[in-house]
A and B are shown apart, each in its own frame.
Chain A
Amino acid sequence: MPAPFTVSQLISGSNFEAKFPLSLSLSHGFGVSGGLSLSLSLSLSNLLVVVVSEVPMSAFGTPTAPNPNPNKSFEVAQPPSDSVSSLSFSPKANYLVATSWDNQVRCWEIMHSGAVVGSTPKASISHDQPVLCSTWKDDGTTVFSGGCDKQAKMWPLSGGQPMTVAMHDAPIKEIAWIPEMNLLVTGSWDKTLKYWDTRQSNPVHTQQLPDRCYALTVRHPLMVVGTADRNLIVFNLQNPQTEFKRITSPLKYQTRCVTAFPDQQGFLVGSIEGRVGVHHLDDSQQSKNFTFKCHRDGNEIYSVNSLNFHPVHHTFATAGSDGAFNFWDKDSKQRLKAMARCSQPIPCSTFNNDGSLFAYSSCYDWSKGAENHNPATAKSHIFLHLPQESEVKSKPRNTTGRK
């Protein structure tokens, strides 16, 4: 009789979809009642299902092992050994950087011609603790990364040692490079935002936030910070010491991600409740604000982990813990394309500089806690999707337009 926790480890070792019966009980109480005995009995009953579902051809008729790549996206070579926390393309070329919970920051060169995509691992650096965020300098020469070691590192890709350029009192969750100011901004769980000139060890400015920084987006001069407890703070980077506006999120639950409109008229905010809010900053455009539901599967409500605007068409993509990514158009308020669900959640995604590639990672995002993490069998993937015109180009609504 295996000890309880190894049984649950075995269960969690199976893939996402097969955990469904078990996760139903978990989501109801997350093991709150009775604890082990309940989960143990459930685990045992699920063991059979799990074992069976591991085998592709199943005599029971239970679903075959869910496809980790149902969208037939290209898979990046040598993915990280633990979950990916952020993905970032170079603004100048097709170089992809991924930061991971295995303490590494990796860089690949992506070759893309027509429908053929290839990837070559190029280099990597390490931090002492998991890395949470990354960004590129606008000239495409340097990568900044920050994480649980409370530091941000600057990594000149052409050679040269990575250098620590920022420090906080708590893990750095978000990082962005502001070319118009030549500064790096970091947002941390120590409730501050700090601006750094990379040549100096002290921050140029420290901005207090009402709570821990959870999300950040910069499109000069607009910057929006999402913090814990549903605060959203808007900054005008021409006057960064003053909060331009502080609002409470239009969504009812925890803020997960924000991204600014390309024309800086507003921003999108995503939360854990499978909803995205579209918010305009100008008072006269408040009537255009709305929220919409997404990443839901029956009664299961997953979180929206990532929001990205297409650099050319200004439509956007959402990626969620249900393992799906979708393309939307906020102006015509439509969903342009729903992609198939991967077997694991998608914690992060990004477009490349011209929108011809969409990178997303499929790995465990901790949305079901530690018990569903099995380091021995967990696999992280980074996929590259080639967005088709029909998926990312806005379409007029069929109903009568205004003018």
Chain B
Amino acid sequence: MSFKKEPCRNFQRGHCRFGEACRYLHVTQQQPKSNVFGFGTQTGLSQQKKSNPLGFGTQTGSHQQQKSNPFGFGVQSSSHPKAGTDFVSKQNQSKLFQNTWTRSTSTPTGVAPQKSDNETQAANHKCTDPEACRRQIVEDFESERPLWKLTCYGHSKNAPCDIVGDISYEELRAAAYDDAKHGLNFQSIVERERNLLSSKLVEFDNLLRKPYAVPPGRSSSQTPFSGARPNSFPLTAQNSAPPLVSSFNQLGASQNLGLGISQSSNTFGTNNMPHRSEGTIIEGFLLCTLVGAFALLLMISYGRCI
């Protein structure tokens, strides 16, 4: 009987009610634990990675490869006192015998992870019900508004952000210290921070008003507007120029702001563009009415689809 060889899932979780009479093997999960490789995977050589059995992050040239080092990484050359080649050969061996840490749909860079996340993660939120999303957003904003406002936000856990453009405490502080060093007085620093804050608050307000105008857009064919739904990952990855943290304006107008929103609002125009120029509320309002028209269209066609 094949299943006798299989470990019992419940036992490993600590609560199998069959006990000895169980059809599956009651082994404690020591093996995977002590051997981190056993980590949720397979066995053997089912390597979906695009690399060779030597595994070790290798070549194919296109990787950021500074040195022509066949092992690709960290294990330089004889100059390395300890661990050098021993480490590598050990790794190679383990790659051959155990499929360490491969996932079934692993691709190294960002595009696919969303799909694999769909499979691997428990809570998959597909935003099929805009009303529920809206309620979630309203509830979040009423009861769970953190004190720090310069943040990204996602209404569903494990789903990409609805509002992008994170600024952390240290970034703000570093920018303030930098400004102070360059002679800016305290008042203007405070003013700049306030402007950042107000544009961020407007973004949150807009989300509240038009919550389902920004579906995170995971799986295909949820709505007819599937064209406007690239993942947020490649978008942010395209943002290759690292934003300098030396001045506030760059922080506030970081490309993340524009890009992140445009992921889903291609059909709606870029809601938040005006806020780059420390936006006035009025401009935002005008755009909102425009957006409202589009939203109406969306709702109608959405209704038709259902």
On A, residues with C-beta under 8 Å from B are 4-5, 8-9, 27, 29-32, 35, 85, 101, 129-130, 132, 148, 169-171, 173, 180-183, 189-192, 195, 197, 199, 202-208, 210-212, 214, 221-222, 228-231, 236, 238-254, 256, 263-265, 271-274, 277, 281-284, 286-287, 289, 291, 300-303, 321, 347, 365-371, 402-403
B74 touching A205, Cβ below 8 Å: yes
Residue of chain A at shortest CB distance from B195: A32
Contact A244 B101, CB 8 Å, known A254-B168, A265-B33: yes
Whether A281 contacts B64 by the Cβ 8 Å rule is no
A189 touches B242 (CB 8 A): yes
Judge whether A254 and B166 touch: CB under 8 Å.
yes
B3 → chain A closest CB, angstroms: 16
Residue of A nearest to B199 (CB): A32
Partner of A238, one of B33, B91, B120, B156: B91
Q: Which residue of B33, B149, B187 is within 8 Å of A30 (Cβ)?
A: B149
> In the complex the two chains form, is B121's CB within 8 Å of A243's CB?
no
B233 touches A101 (CB 8 A): no
Q: Interface residue tally of chain B, by bracket? A: 35 or more
Contacts of A370 in B (CB 8 A): 172-173, 176, 186, 189-190, 193
Determine whether B225 belongs to the interface, using a CB cutoff of 8 Å to chain A: no
Cross-chain contact A367 with B148 (CB below 8 angstroms): yes
Report whether A250 and B157 are in contact in the complex, using a CB–CB cutoff of 8 Å.
yes
B154 is an interface residue with CB less than 8 A from chain A: yes
Chain A residues closer than 8 Å to B56, beta-carbon distance: 238-239
CA distance A264 to B33 in the complex (A): 8
The CA of A281 and the CA of B156, in the complex, are separated in Å by: 19
Residues of A within 8 A of B32 (CB): 282
Q: Most A CB atoms within 10 A — which of B15, B146, B155? A: B146
CB nearest to B157 among chain A residues: A250
Q: Once the chains are docked, how many angstroms separate the CA of A9 from the CA of B184?
A: 16
Q: Contacts A195-B74, A240-B73 given: A204-B66 contact, CB under 8 Å?
A: yes
Report if B72 contacts A (CB, 8 A): yes
Determine the distance from Cα of A284 to Cα of B33 in the docked complex, in whole angstroms. 13
Asked whether any CB of chain A lies closer than 8 Å to the CB of B85, the reply is: no
For residue B72, which residues in chain A have a CB less than 8 angstroms away from its CB?
241
Nearest 6 A/B pairs, CB to CB: A241-B57, A228-B166, A190-B242, A282-B40, A254-B151, A236-B101
Q: Judge if B140 is at the interface, Cβ distance under 8 Å.
A: yes
Would you give 19 A-B contacts (Cβ < 8 Å), ordered by A?
Answer: A8-B190, A30-B149, A31-B197, A181-B87, A191-B242, A210-B110, A212-B242, A229-B161, A239-B101, A240-B57, A241-B63, A245-B106, A248-B160, A248-B161, A252-B144, A263-B33, A281-B39, A286-B121, A300-B147
